[in-house]
Copies of this chain bind each other. A is one copy, B any other.
Amino acid sequence: MPHTYEYPRAALTVDCVVFGFDEAELKVLLIQRGLAPFKGKWALPGGFVRVDETLDEAARRELAEETGLQNVFLEQLYTFGSVDRDPRERVVSVAYYSLVKLAEHPAAGASDASDAGWFPVATPPKLAFDHADILETAVQRLRGKVRYEPIGFELLPAKFTLSQLQHLYEAVLQGELDKRNFRKKFLATGLLVPLKEQLRTGANRPAQLFKFDTKKYQALKKRGFSFDI
């Protein structure tokens, strides 16, 4: 059933940059395109926005369809509207970025996409369309955001050690951090709850496990809370 308009219209899509962290480096979830254009190339998960769904809904739907991910942190990033970013026709894409706990989502492929996989953000494969630009924009946004909002917890398991948290920050911010200062500052926020468990990882002293105090953070945020790592 065709649809007709007085003026030509751009197609509208959403694309999602899904970040994960694997204890050592920051990764991004890509899918291999099953259809032309760029068939066989790696790309960000995404697809067309339906007229009866919001942009957020479209992003969540595509994420679920193409990667199986649900109930994840998802936030609008930027809208990309170069005239020639899609070789077929004019396509404007609203990009989102998402943070997921990598351990819980090893790399499930799904229907639309022939395959999916995690790639290092630092050395991604060649990407379809302008997805390299989108990825770069998302990385910059993540770097900015992680400094004043504790979104890093979305990337870690529910129980984590201070070393894991520090390694995450070092991966995102690309630099070494002083262990004592890092722990001091983070513990001072009062957002880390020490658990009665420890994590044994081999021939060394076991590490204290913590969880993130989400409720306390929500309360602090409402009062206008500043955070700076």
Bound state CA distance, A27 and B81, in angstroms? 29
Contacts of A8 in B (CB 8 A): 3, 51
Is A94 touching B82 in the complex (CB atoms < 8 A)?
A: no
- Binding-face segment, A9-17, A161-169, A186-194: A9-17
Choice from B5, B53, B81 contacting A83 with Cβ under 8 Å: B53
Contacts of A159 in B (CB 8 A): none
Is B79 touching A79 in the complex (CB atoms < 8 A)?
A: yes
Interface of A is mostly: loop
The size of the chain A interface, using a CB distance under 8 A, is: 29
A71 contacts B by Cβ under 8 Å: no
Bound state CA distance, A48 and B136, in angstroms? 28
A139 contacts B by Cβ under 8 Å: no
A211 contacts B by Cβ under 8 Å: no
Contacts of A61 in B (CB 8 A): none
Q: A51-B90, A54-B82 are in contact. Are A9 and B6 (CB under 8 A)?
A: no
Q: Closest CB-CB distance, A97 to chain B, in whole Å?
A: 14
Contacts of A6 in B (CB 8 A): 2-3
Instruction: List, sorted by A's number, 16 A–B pairs whose CB atoms are closer than 8 Å.
Output: A2-B4, A2-B5, A2-B6, A3-B5, A4-B4, A7-B50, A9-B12, A10-B51, A12-B92, A51-B90, A52-B90, A54-B81, A55-B79, A55-B92, A79-B94, A81-B94
Q: Could you list which residues of chain A lie within 8 angstroms of chain B, going by C-beta atoms?
A: 2-12, 48-56, 76, 78-79, 81-83, 90, 92, 94
Known pairs A51-B83, A56-B81 / 15 extra A-B pairs, C-beta < 8 Å? A3-B5, A3-B6, A3-B9, A5-B5, A7-B50, A7-B51, A8-B51, A9-B9, A9-B11, A9-B12, A10-B12, A10-B49, A52-B83, A52-B90, A54-B81
